[in-house]
Amino acid sequence: MRKPVIAGNWKMYKTVGESVATALALKPLVANANHWEVVIAPVFTALKSVADRLEGSNIKLAAQNCAAEKTEGAFTGEVAASMVRDAGCSHVIVGHSERRQYFFESDQIVSRKTQAGLAAGLMVIVCVGETLEQRDQGSAESVVRNQLAGGLSGLTASDLDRIIVAYEPVWAIGTGRTATPEQAQEMHAFIRRVFAERLSAAADAIRVLYGGSVKPDNIAGLMKQPDIDGALVGGASLKAESFAEIVNYKK
C-alpha cells in the first residue's frame, strides 16, 4: 500500500509571520486527515518557526530546495540538507521546474541534491516534467525518462522508500490548465515502468505525485487514477482553507 502524499509548495510567498499564521490555521483543519502524509513547504526563513508550531501535529515540513554539497562549507547563500533537517524538516523538494528553468539546475545538480537529501536522512521529493513544446513534439516521455535517469542516477532499491517523484508538466504549473486525469495517469504509469526497468520490485512501492494547477475541484478525478499517489500543490496551498479542502478529500 502506497500512502498518498499531499504537499503544499508555498514557493517564494509569505513572511515568517504569515507562514506561521497559515500553518496554525491549517493544523486543526487537517487534524483528522491521517489518510495522507501531509506536507507543507514554506520559505527557508520560516522553516524553524513553523516547525516549532507544528510539533506534535500530523503536518510534516519540507524545504523547497537544498545545497548540492553534502557538508557545510564555503558556499555563500546555500543551505545544506543537514541544516534543513536541523530546522525541523523531514522532507525536501528538489528539481522543481522553476529551479531548472530560472536557476539552470541540470539533472546532474538534481542528482547531487537528491543524494545530499538522502544522506541527511530526509525524504526527497524529486520533480520532473516536460514543457508544452516538448509535449507537442511528442517527446514528453523521453524528457521525463532522461530526467529520471539523470536526477536519480546512483540510487539503489533501498533508497526508494525515501524518494517521492512529483510529475509536474511545466505547462500545467500556475496556468490553471491541469493535465487531464488520463494524461497524468499515462505519465505516472510510464514513470513506474521506468523505475521497474531499473529497480524491479521497488517500483510498486514508489509514490508518484501529480502537480500543476491542483485545486479542490480536480483532486478527486486525479486521485481516482491507479498510479497517482498524491499531489504537489502550489497556488491552492497558500490559503489554509483551500489546501484543507484538498487534503480532506478521501478516495
Q: Which residues bind ligand PGA (CB under 6 A)?
A: 9, 168, 173-174, 211-214, 232-236
* Joined grid coordinates for residue 184: 497524468
Strand 91-94 and strand 230-233: pairing?
unpaired
Q: Given the complex with ligand PGA, which of 17 and 174 has the nearer CB atom? A: 174
Q: Given the complex with ligand PGA, which of 160 and 219 has the nearer CB atom? A: 219
Q: Given the complex with ligand PGA, which of 102 and 156 has the nearer CB atom? A: 102
CA angle 19, 234, 107 (to 5 degrees): 110
Q: Given the complex with ligand PGA, which of 116 and 236 has the nearer CB atom? A: 236
Q: Provide, rounded to whole angstroms, the least separation between the CB of residue 144 and ligand PGA.
A: 16
By the 10 Å C-beta count (0-12 exposed, 13-18 middle, 19+ buried), 158 is classed as exposed
Reduced DSSP (H G I as helix, E B as strand, rest coil) percent helix, strand, coil of the chain, to 5? 45, 15, 40
Whether 55 is a known active-site residue: answer no
Catalytic residue among 37, 98, 130, 168: 168
Amino acid letter, 96: H
Bridge partner residues of 123 (DSSP): 91
Q: Tell me if 40 sits within 8 A of 8, measured CB to CB.
A: yes
Strand 5-9 and strand 230-233: pairing?
parallel
Q: Provide, rounded to whole angstroms, the least separation between the CB of residue 75 and ligand PGA.
A: 25
Separation between Cα atoms, residue 102 and residue 111, nearest integer Å: 18
Catalytic residue among 37, 96, 98, 105: 96
Q: Given the complex with ligand PGA, which of 107 and 168 has the nearer CB atom? A: 168
Q: Provide, rounded to whole angstroms, the least separation between the CB of residue 179 and ligand PGA.
A: 11
Number of Cβ within 10 Å of residue 112's Cβ equals: 21
Q: Shortest Cβ contact with ligand PGA: which residue? A: 234
Q: Provide, rounded to whole angstroms, the least separation between the CB of residue 199 and ligand PGA.
A: 25
Whether 91 is a known active-site residue: answer no
**Taking Cα atoms as reference points, which of 46, 49, 30 lies closest to residue 38?**
30
The Cα-based distances of 62 to 20, 51, 232 in angstroms read 14, 10, 12
Q: Provide, rounded to whole angstroms, the least separation between the CB of residue 200 and ligand PGA.
A: 29
What residues are annotated to the active site? 96, 168
